[in-house]
Chains A and B, each alone.
Chain A
Amino acid sequence: AQSVTQPDIHITVSEGASLELRCNYSYGATPYLFWYVQSPGQGLQLLLKYFSGDTLVQGIKGFEAEFKRSQSSFNLRKPSVHWSDAAEYFCAVGGGGGSYIPTFGRGTSLIVHP
């Protein structure tokens, strides 16, 4: 069965600082990996995805993520955080066997200090 672990419940950073949100997955084959962001009172927006190819993927809003098979990780990064990045971030794994239904991690809440 597929699963996702986001070890950090909350992350606090100062505006302008760099950010890394951790995600580890468990999956029997090559996974499809996603990062979603949920702003307060909103639905989920896809930030980026990895299916194959280049292990460093670029997303919207200046985010990137790196797939590391040896570590079963797909960490999300941003070089300089903006106050508007404060939100809940969800890592998800899916795909394989014809299943497109993602399994989500518990989420990491990003707090940005001015």
Chain B
Amino acid sequence: SAVISQKPSRDICQRGTSLTIQCQVDSQVTMMFWYRQQPGQSLTLIATANQGSEATYESGFVIDKFPISRPNLTFSTLTVSNMSPEDSSIYLCSAVRGMGDTEAFFGQGTRLTVV
């Protein structure tokens, strides 16, 4: 399995500001994703991070609010922009190692509180 490190692990931010979350995988992976887990809820896919091109966003999520980068096969960032209290959630980075693998691995998550 791949080891995924996320940072920060938690943060408290002022509304109107932005936070960038970093995700580092210990080996090259074919696919990387970002999920949001709102309090007491399940995981909702935000987007697929594509290397060298724009991320693919799910319905209800837009690039202006959640810009994503993936400069190489082991690293991705998610920015939560112009934050409001409704953005308070756990944000999880996930990856699928290779086309022969079909299970997703997860980082430990970033717990974001917006005040």
Binding site for B on A (CB under 8 A): 32, 34, 36, 41-46, 49, 51, 90, 94-95, 100-102, 104-107
Contact = CB atoms under 8 A, between A and B. Distances in A.
Contacts, number: 47
Interface string B22-66: 000000000101000000011101001000000000000000000
B102 A32 contact: yes
Question: How extensive is the interface on chain B, given as a class?
Answer: 20 to 34
A46 B45 contact: no
Nearest to A36: B106
Interface of B: 1, 4, 6, 31, 33, 41-43, 45, 48, 92, 96, 101-109, 111
Nearest to B96: A100
A43 B42 contact: no
Contact of A90 (B33, B42, B45): B42
Contacts of A44: 43, 92, 106
A43 B108 contact: yes
Give the secondary structure class of B's interface.
Answer: strand
Contact of A42 (B42, B48, B104, B108): B108
A43 B107 contact: yes
A42 B111 CA distance: 10
A105 B31 contact: no
B43 A90 contact: yes
B103 A41 contact: no
A107 B90 CA distance: 15
